[in-house]
Each structure stands twice: as C-alpha cells, then as structure tokens.
Amino acid sequence: MKDRKTYSESLRRSKDLENAIIQNPQNYRILTGERPTGQLHIGHLFGSIKERVRLQKLGTETAIIIADYQVITDRDEFKNLKESVDGIVIDNLAAGLDPEKTMFFCHSQIPELNQLMIPFLSLVTEPELLRNPTVKAEMEASGHSLSGLLLTYPVHQACDILFCKGSVVPVGKDQLPHIEVCRLIAKRFNERFAGVKYGELDKEGNPKGMENAVFPLPEALLSKVPHVPGLDGRKMSKSFGNAVLLGMSADETAKLIKKTPTDNERTITYNPDDRKEVSSLLTITALCRGLEIGGDGEQQIAEEINSDPKFGAGLLKQKCTEAVNEALRDHREKRSELAENLDYVHKILHDGIIKAREIAVETLKDVQNAMGTIY
Ligand code: TRP
C-alpha cells in the first residue's frame, strides 16, 4: 500500500472523500483539533469552523479535540488556557455547530487517549520524526531547541485521531505530514499487533486479516477555503496585530482595518506578490461577501472601487470594514449570548469529556487485547 505524499494527490483524494461523505454521512465521524493558544480570528472562522458546520449539515457527527497539551510543545506560556478553551467552544457553537452532534473535549482530560502514546511511540523511528517539515518549522519559529514533546506531538495527534477510530480529519495543508504519521502508526499497529497483512490481498482485494484491524487509516480532508491572509498580507496572527478577532466589536474592527498600512498607488489592483497589503484587504472583503477568492472575487471588488469617484485605499478599507462587520454580525451576537451563559458552555465541554472518555476506554481495551496486555 502506497501512502499519499503530494498535495495534489491529497486534494484529489479530498474531493473523492467529500463525495463519499455526501453519499453516506452517517458512516463518518469528522474529527478535528484546535490548539487553545488565544482568541480565534476570521482565518479560523472561514478556514475551518465554517467547513465543519457545512460538513455537519451533510449529516456527520463532529469531534473537536481541544489540544491543550499541544500548547506546551513550542511555547513557554501556559496562560489563560481556560479562557481560550471556552472561546473555542463558544465560537464553534456561535458559527452553528450543533451541540447535540458535536463532542468537544480537551485531550489532557482523557487518560486512556494519552496512554496510547506508549505503544504508538514504539512504531515510529527517530529519523521519521525528525524529518517532519511542520515540526521543523514550529521549532524554528519557537526559537528553542527541539523539545521531546514537540518532536513527538504528531504521535500524540495520532492518539487524538485514533482513540475514537476517526476516519476523516479536516485539516489545512500544514497538517498533512501529521496525518501521514497517523496513517503509518495505524497501519503498523494493525500489522504488528493485529496480524493484518497489507502486502497480501484477499480475493476482494482487501489486505489479509483486515477483519482483525484495530484502527482505520484516517484520511485528511483539505479545506475548500484557501489560505486567508492577515490584513497586512502576512500570516494572520494575533501577535502581528493583523487579525480580526471574532470577539472584537464592530468599532474595534473598523479601527484595526483603518490603521492597516497600504501603498501609495491610488488605483486598486489584485497582485498578492507586489501589493500584498491591498491584495489581502481585497481577499478578506471578497471572502466576507461570499465571493470566490484567489482572483475573481478580488478583481470584482477592485473594479467596483476603481469606478467610484472616491476610489483609493480609503474606500477599500471602508468596503472591507463593512463586509467584515456584516459577515460577523450574527456570529458576534450569538457569541456574546454564549459568553453570558458560561455554565451552558461548560456543561457542553464536560459532557464531551465524559463521552470521549467512554470511547477511549473501549479503544484502549481493543489495544490491550491486540497486544495481549490483559492480566
Ligand atoms: N495539530 C493541530 C494544529 O496545530 C491541532 C490538532 C491537535 C489536531 N490534534 C488534532 C488536528 C487532531 C486534527 C486532528 O492545528
């Protein structure tokens, strides 16, 4: 069996997977993770949360792993964690995820999930871990030497996915190497401990012994929305001050957009290489108006601005502010209602933790059975 390596292959596979989900939504559990490192912004909302809502509307169940241990992989700060966790639950609910069909939980609260880490670590080698490009990039950004946890967090992420035998994982491109590690671990576990022979096929073309497999080989589902840039064209990040946070008011949003730098050219054009500030304001405006981004939507807005006697960066910022505030109006209303009702938010999280733990206990039993560690 060949593991899928390239982005275009993953993209093609994501399309097939999406069609399969549409056909039989009840067969899939959508499993995805969020690291609680601060307030969420419109990049999260458009890049991943709205995707989850869309998939849930097709009829799937959703599990949202709040990866609190992941926070200490590449930063020293472990502050305001509770607020960040509450924020994740609040923003996902405000965007329309159904609390009846969504299991929210923090992975630190599920001992049986964490226990999978020990057998899983035995299934990967040091060079395999060291060559993970996302881990390398995170280490460089952290400015620290590689910690044991950062090196092995893709294995921990495999625990997040496999503890509930998750099969579909919506992620961004940067997470593809981790999904490969997860597939490798699932496959090697099935081979080593459950007698599956991926190299030998039966009459139906399935690997021999597949009926004894403990884990499925999960698939990445790449987001339909391409990368959302920050207001100034750099990566959207709270620390760069270029992110519209979901918790901001309409006025705060207007102020933030107003002070975003632009260039001196009055005619607005979409050119992400040479005019990254103007281009990202166009992208965000297009995205918030529900237009196609990456070219057409941006051109349309640029033309609209250039044909106005007041054309220029000021008008672009005004249109961007209007579009963002309009797109976030409902979300903000619901999120402030939920923020007033934290008991309800906490109940959803606690129920999710109980449910996740029940699932993890069962999976750990399967693992122990396969490994023969039952005494
Ligand atoms: N590593 C992911 C990120 O940095 C978050 C995450 C943790 C995750 N566990 C997961 C994503 C399981 C998908 C499935 O964004």
- Site to probe by mutation for ligand 1, drawn from 156, 157, 180, 222 as the one with most ligand atoms within 8 Å of Cβ, is 157
Mean pLDDT of 242-246: 95
Q: Name the closest-CA residue to atom 12, ligand 1.
A: 33
Residue 359 to residues 63, 136, 161, 300, 308, Cα–Cα distance (Å):
12, 32, 12, 49, 58
Q: Which CATH architecture best describes the domain 248-339?
A: Orthogonal Bundle (1.10)
**E-only strand ranges, the chain:** 29-34, 61-66, 102-106, 168-171, 197-201, 207-208, 219-222
What is the model's pLDDT at position 264?
85
- In the predicted model, what is the mean pLDDT of residues 24-30? 88
**Per-residue model confidence as pLDDT tens digits over 256-276:** 999 999 988 999 999 999 999
CA 27, CA 10: separation in Å to the nearest integer?
Answer: 21
Closest CA to 243 of 35, 34, 38, 43: 43
Query: Is residue 166 in contact with ligand 1, taking CB distance under 6 Å?
Result: no
Placement of tokens 């994982």 in the chain? 169
pLDDT of 78 higher than 80:
no
The reply to whether ligand 1 has any atom less than 6 angstroms from the CB of 70 is: yes
Q: Whose CA is nearest to atom 11 of ligand 1?
A: 33
Domain regions of the chain by residue span: 7-227+342-371, 248-339
User: What pLDDT digit, counting tens, does each position of 44-65 carry?
Assistant: 999 899 999 999 999 998 999 9
Distance 255 CA to ligand 1 centre (A): 32
Q: Which residue's CA lies nearest to atom 15 of ligand 1? A: 34
Nearest ligand 1 atom to alpha carbon 156: 9
**pLDDT-above-70 percentage for the chain:** 99
Compute φ and ψ for 122, nearest 5 degrees: -75, -10
Looking at the structure, give the CATH architecture of the domain made up of residues 7-227+342-371: 3-Layer(aba) Sandwich (3.40)
Q: How far is the CA of 264 from the centre of ligand 1 (A)?
A: 40
pLDDT, residue 4, reads: 53
Tokens encoding 23:
């056909």
Alpha helices in 221-341 (DSSP H): 250-258, 276-288, 296-306, 313-339
